[in-house]
């Protein structure tokens, strides 16, 4: 489809429509990437919250073992009961955090690691409860022996399991941060390249539209001012104008019709002048003949009169 076959209004509408489409496409793409970036940011926040809770579990477990050591080491029953109460408080703290983590973590790998942590906690808790029971009942030596023989190794296994979970969470955060950085890079690239490309397309389109309007208009003005205004009706508008489907083509066809009518009028006028000239020539010839006839008649009359006088 040629621009020359579109009306000027539709041509301008095409230009505005194309620019609007490019802007909407650029905005939609940027919005999509921004949405992805927002999701990545939300994921980072969620992962950071989970990592914080996991560290809270690790801190609570460390506190439990520290209070267990103090419980075994102190001889006072009051001190033992105080440390036992702290152990129960810390145990409630990590239980709450573990329950929240089980609810929040949806990935299979994360759930598996969290299950390992839960299993390690359960294994360590069995030994810890026996240590506390021995210490509270005054069997400090047996409690210390059990703590060193089973409690500390279980703490090391539990710590290794928690460290694996924390490492998994840190890797998840780094992966999401990398994804967010990539999305941010895409936004910058799209805004830069998309804007430049959109401007280039818009400029080329507008140049084509304006050229398809201004060039034929200038040619039409030249034809009107240099030929028609000087009374030269022998030339037709350029044929390329008449083949256009827009307003300029309609104007060219109207000029062609007007020129045809003017030429017909001029031909009729010339024919009338020629007819009048021919009639005038004939009248002049008749007048000469009449004069000659009158002169001949006058001569004959004079001759007759002279003959009559002689008689």
Identify the band that residue 239 occupies on the pLDDT scale cut at 50, 70 and 90: low
| Per-residue pLDDT tens over the stretch 257-281 | 777 777 777 778 777 777 777 776 7
Which of 16-30, 100-114, 193-207: highest mean pLDDT? 100-114
Q: How far is CA 206 from CA 13, 115, 166, 196, 211, in A?
A: 11, 65, 58, 15, 8
Tell me the Ramachandran region of residue 7: left when phi exceeds 0, alpha when psi lies from -120 to 50, beta otherwise: beta
Q: Which residue segments constitute the domains of the chain, with CATH numbers given?
A: 3-207 (1.20.120.1730)
pLDDT band at 242 (very low <50, low <70, confident <90, very high): low
Q: Considering the chain, what is the average pLDDT of its residues?
A: 77
**Model confidence over 33-72: pLDDT tens digits?**
777 777 777 777 877 788 888 888 888 888 988 888 888 8
Confidence of residue 199 (pLDDT cuts 50, 70, 90): confident
Q: Which of 4-18, 112-126, 256-270, 280-294 has the highest mean pLDDT?
A: 112-126
pLDDT bracket for residue 294 (50, 70, 90)? low
pLDDT digits (tens, 9 = 90+) for 21-35: 777 877 777 777 777
DSSP-assigned letters across all residues of the chain: --GGGS-HHHHHHHHHHHHHHHHHHHHHHHHHHHHHHHHHHHHHHHHHHHHHHHHHHHHHHHHHHHHHHHHHH---HHHHHHHHHHHHHHHHHHHHHHHHHHHH--SHHHHHHHHHHHHHHHHHHHHHHHHHHHHHTT-HHHHHHHIIIIIHHHHHHHHHHHHHHHHHHHHHHHHHHHHHHHHHHHHHHHHHHHHHHHHHHHHHHHHHHHHHHHHHHHHHHHHIIIIITTT--S-PPPHHHHT--SHHHHHHHHHHHHHHHHHHHHHHHHHHHHHHHHHHHHHHHHHHHHHHHHHHHHHHHHHHHHHHHH-
The string of pLDDT tens digits covering residues 69-83 is: 888 888 788 888 888
- Angle among Cα 16, 20, 23 to the nearest 5 degrees reads 140
Q: Is the pLDDT of residue 6 over 60?
A: no
Give Cβ neighbours of residue 283 (< 8 Å, ≥ 6 apart). Answer: none
- pTM beyond 0.85: the answer is no
- Determine the pLDDT at residue 49: 83
Read off the pLDDT of each residue in 162-173 and give the average, rounded to a whole number: 85
Q: Which residue has the higher pLDDT, 262 or 103?
A: 103
């Amino acid at each position: 489809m040629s621009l020359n076959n579109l009306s000027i209004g539709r041509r301008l509408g095409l230009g505005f429509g194309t620019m609007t489409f490019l802007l909407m496409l650029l905005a939609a793409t940027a919005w999509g990437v921004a949405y992805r970036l927002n999701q990545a940011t939300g994921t980072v926040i969620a992962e950071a919250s989970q990592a914080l809770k996991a560290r809270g579990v690790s801190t609570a477990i460390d506190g439990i073992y520290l209070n267990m050591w103090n419980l075994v080491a102190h001889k006072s029953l009051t001190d033992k009961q105080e440390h036992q109460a702290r152990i129960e408080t810390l145990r409630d703290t990590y239980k709450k955090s573990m329950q929240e983590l089980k609810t929040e973590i949806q990935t299979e790998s994360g759930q598996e690691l969290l299950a390992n942590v839960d299993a390690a906690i359960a294994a360590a808790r069995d030994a810890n409860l026996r240590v506390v029971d021995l210490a509270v009942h005054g069997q400090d030596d047996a409690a210390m022996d059990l703590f060193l023989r089973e409690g500390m190794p279980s703490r090391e296994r539990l710590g290794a399991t928690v460290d694996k979970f924390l490492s998994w969470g840190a890797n998840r955060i780094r992966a999401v941060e990398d994804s967010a950085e990539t999305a941010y890079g895409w936004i910058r690239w799209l805004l830069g390249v998309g804007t430049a490309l959109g401007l280039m397309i818009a400029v080329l389109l507008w140049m084509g539209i304006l050229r398809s309007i201004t060039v034929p208009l200038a040619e039409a003005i030249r034809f009107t001012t240099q030929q028609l205004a000087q009374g030269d009706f022998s030339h037709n508008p350029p044929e390329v104008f008449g083949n256009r489907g827009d307003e300029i083509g309609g104007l060219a066809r109207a000029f062609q019709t007007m020129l045809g009518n003017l030429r017909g009028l001029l031909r009729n006028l010339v024919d009338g002048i020629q007819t009048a000239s021919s009639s005038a020539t004939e009248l002049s010839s008749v007048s000469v003949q009449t004069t000659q006839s009158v002169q001949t008649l006058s001569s004959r009359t004079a001759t007759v009169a002279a003959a009559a006088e002689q008689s």
